Amino acid sequence: MFCIKLNTNDPFFNLAIEEFLLKSRKEEYMLLGVNNPCVVIGKHQSAHREVNTKFVIENQIPVIRRISGGGTVFHDKGNLNFSFIRQSESGRQVDFRKYTQPVIDFLISLGVEVKFEGKSDLKVDGLKISGNAEHIHGDRVLHHGTLLFNTSLEMLRNSLRKNTSCYTSRAVVSNPSSVINLNEKINCLQDINEFRSEMMNYFLKNFSDNFPYDLTQTEIRQAESLADSKYKTWEWNWAYGPEYTFNNSFEMSKAHHSCSLFIKDGIIRECIIEGSDQMKKASKKLIGCRHMVSDLSETFRNENIFLTEKEIFNFF
């Protein structure tokens, strides 16, 4: 298995290289990477329902969809991402215990008592330190997960939506868990780079068929192209996924309002706003708009409705 240290903190590239190596190569890989702050949602999730839309926009935190299922996770430079891309036997491809066991063994070697719990979580003292997801492509499997080392737990909590009651969808729902950083349990490692190096060395020393590998310039260029054409696009990150409805009631301009939106492929297909006559009229203009803050803000301005930065989030 080729062991790769990803040299960029670009989450778009780091997700794209996983897909490229999974689908365009036959070799087996382990990748270790650290990303700039972002929220990564599962393939079958509704982005607005999972993320705190107001917080991520105000803090310029990108929301990126991955090709595997599962729930939403927060990445930053205190979170180590690990990926295994392996050949797999048909019918036995989804196996979270198999792919997390070497990670558990590594953490145990550092003195951390880690347990596999639930469907795919790793926990310490009952608190989550790793979420995992998998994607099957033919006879190959991508297993990837997170390891919270010294992540900003405040940013993590603020980036994820706490109350999802306004949204109705058949999309996959995240299961929030209480979390802990590994640096609270590991005293011998000072930062995420030391932690990553320790994990890389563990896999190179303890498995005779593991070798260090550097991505070629061709592989880098092809992953960059995939990042541009897919992972940086609104169509993939926000529009992809099951349709959903959004219902909310709120006070605005000293009047009670309610709105009901039906969104499919990221586009508002139906819209009813009750309240002022001006808002009722504007509701017809929202049909065909992307369910995005910038699009709704522009449409309302064109109707001479100037919402505050806070008010626009009544529609998300």
* Domains of the chain and CATH, by start: 2-239 (3.30.930.10), 244-315 (3.30.390.50)
The pLDDT of residue 174: 93
The pLDDT of residue 172: 94
The pLDDT of residue 176: 86
pLDDT one-digit tens code per residue, 139-182: 999 999 999 999 999 999 999 999 999 999 999 999 889 999 99
Runs of H (alpha helix) within the chain: 11-24, 47-50, 53-58, 96-109, 153-159, 192-206, 217-226, 234, 277-286, 293-302
The pLDDT of residue 187: 85
Point out which residues pair with 115 in neighbouring strands. 123
The pLDDT of residue 88: 86
Which pair of tokens denotes residue 190? 């000072």
The pLDDT of residue 175: 86
267-274, strands of its sheet edge to edge: 167-169, 244-252, 255-264, 267-274
Distances (CA, A) of 249 to 53, 151, 255, 273: 17, 35, 11, 10
The pLDDT of residue 130: 96
The pLDDT of residue 93: 78
- Give the pTM: 0.94
Contacts of 242 (CB under 8 A, 6+ apart): 44, 46, 169, 170, 171
pLDDT one-digit tens code per residue, 32-44: 999 999 999 999 9
Question: Is there a contact between 113 and 119 (Cβ–Cβ < 8 Å)?
Answer: no
Which pair of tokens denotes residue 230? 């897919």
**Which residue positions in the chain have pLDDT lower than 50?**
none
The pLDDT of residue 254: 86
